[in-house]
Amino acid sequence: SQTIHQWPATLVQPVGSPLSLECTVEGTSNPNLYWYRQAAGRGLQLLFYSVGIGQISSEVPQNLSASRPQDRQFILSSKKLLLSDSGFYLCAWRIRIGQAGPLHFGNGTRLTVT
């Protein structure tokens, strides 16, 4: 069966520090991968998605970037964190097929920028 791993689970970082969040998927090949952010008490905002290695689409202009160095690895980064980057970051995957379908989320990383 497929599983998705995200780490770390929680992170406290000072303003201006770099960030790297990692997500890996097991048990499937060629997944579509997604990064969402959830601010406290808010909905899920799509940040990036990837349909293949090295292919990244950005949904909103921001202080973050994403990379997909391997088929089942998705990384979210920042060179300098802002206070507004605080939130709950969720990685998700889905089978790559020709129609929309369910996304499966990881357990998330709770990031607090101080």
Partner 1 sequence: GENVEQHPSTLSVQEGDSAVIKCTYSDSASNYFPWYKQELGKRPQLIIDIRSNVGEKKDQRIAVTLNKTAKHFSLHITETQPEDSAVYFCAVGSGNTGKLIFGQGTTLQVKP
Judged by the rule CB under 8 A, the positions of this chain that interact with partner 1 are 32, 34, 36, 42-46, 49, 51, 57, 59, 90, 94, 96-108, 110
Nearest CB to partner 1, comparing residues 26 and 59: 59
For residues 40 and 102, is the Cβ–Cβ distance under 8 A? no
Nearest CB to partner 1, comparing residues 55 and 114: 55
Q: Transcribe 29-78 into DSSP letters.
A: SS-EEEEEEE-TT--EEEEEEEEETTEEEESS--S-EEEEEETTEEEEEE
User: Minimum distance from CB of 79 to partner 1 (Å)?
Assistant: 25
Nearest CB to partner 1, comparing residues 72 and 94: 94
For residues 29 and 71, is the Cβ–Cβ distance under 8 A? yes
